[in-house]
Amino acid sequence: MNKDAKYTVRRGPNDWAIHLVFRLNSREQALLSHDGHEALVKMVNAVKEAVSGTAGGAFYINEFSDVVVPAGNEPYYAGTYDEVLEFDLNGQTISADAGSSLKPGDEWSGPHVGTAYTLSAGANDIKYSTITGRISREIRLSDFVGEQAARALAQRLATVKGNEGGRIYINERCHFFAPVGQQYLYLGSLDDSPWFPPPDVPGRD
């Protein structure tokens, strides 16, 4: 997992803070932090302490606003968090929210934190895989929303990503971005397109 593909709770000089490694380009990155969002810090630390016995560590916020905390060998649901994480970089606000001027095909200027999916070759579907024991299972968007709706969204994303498919990401504000060549490009927002149901992870009722 790339260091810039996650948020991290770490103890700072005064108290716990949320950290983000923000990639500026292929050779530069910045370590950003925010000492607010106390409720979020408590969610993450509660799971970390219950499962591994120590506070602090990586977490993610998926497109359903679920706080997902890797602990042990499992991702755990820690709660729901709707506030936007914003970080300051020399007066510039860095967040998962795309600016109103950002259009599909523009370079993605936000964090690289997001849930990974795969755009299928031919841009007919979107999928991800789960592994249980020795069994790997492919989950397709068309399984939930039908082939026509899945193809419509896949083809919209492919206008930037390309029909050959590959890895795409969706973040907590429902914006898609993906590596294309040597850059991460903005693919657009989920908007009202049908999507996968929330994941089944330990801790969710």
131-160 pLDDT, tens digit per residue, is 878 899 999 999 999 999 999 999 999 999
Give the CA dihedral 61, 66, 69, 75, nearest 10 degrees: -120
Q: Is residue 90 part of a domain?
A: yes
Q: Is residue 199 part of a domain?
A: no
Closest CA to 6 of 128, 169, 139, 117: 169
Provide the domain limits for residue 111: 3-189
How remote is the C-alpha of 39 from its chain's centroid?
A: 20
Give me the number of domains the chain comprises.
1
In the predicted model, what is the mean pLDDT of residues 20-30? 85
Q: Is residue 143 part of a domain?
A: yes
Q: Is residue 198 part of a domain?
A: no
Q: Is residue 202 part of a domain?
A: no
Q: Is residue 204 part of a domain?
A: no
Give phi and psi for 158, each to the nearest 5: -70, -15
Q: Is residue 109 part of a domain?
A: yes
The confidence score (pLDDT) of residue 64 equals 95
27-60 pLDDT, tens digit per residue, is 888 999 988 899 999 999 999 999 989 999 999 9
72-129 pLDDT, tens digit per residue, is 778 899 999 999 999 999 998 999 997 778 999 999 989 999 999 999 999 999 999 9
Q: Which residues contact 37 (CB under 8 A, 6 or more apart)?
A: 18, 81, 83, 85
Q: Is residue 141 part of a domain?
A: yes
